[in-house]
Amino acid sequence: MTSEVVENEVEFYSKAEKYWKDVPATVDGMLGGYGHISSIDINSSRKFLQRFLRDGPNRTGTTRALDCGAGIGRITKRLLLPLFKTVDMVDVTEDFLTKAKSYLGEEGRRVRNYFCCGLQDFSPEPNSYDVIWIQWVIGHLTDNHLSDFLKRCRTGLRPNGIIVIKDNMAQEGVIMDDVDSSVCRDLDVVRKIIRRAGLHLLAEERQENFPDEIYHVYTFAMR
Residue ranges at the known binding site: 69, 74, 91-93, 119-120, 135
Q: How far is CA 15 from the centre of its chain?
A: 19
Question: E-assigned strands of 97-214?
Answer: 111-116, 129-135, 157-169, 174-177, 182-185, 201-206
Please report, for residues 118, 171, 185, 191, the alpha-carbon distance to residue 208 in angstroms, rounded to integers and kept in the order given. Answer: 30, 16, 19, 20
Give 26-43 as a DSSP string: SHHHHTTT-GGGHHHHHH
* Residue 73 to residue 30: CA distance in whole angstroms: 9
- Binding region for S-adenosyl-L-methionine: 69, 74, 91-93, 119-120, 135
CA dihedral 165, 167, 169, 174 (to 10 degrees): -90
Residues 164, 167, 169, 175: is their CA dihedral positive or negative? negative
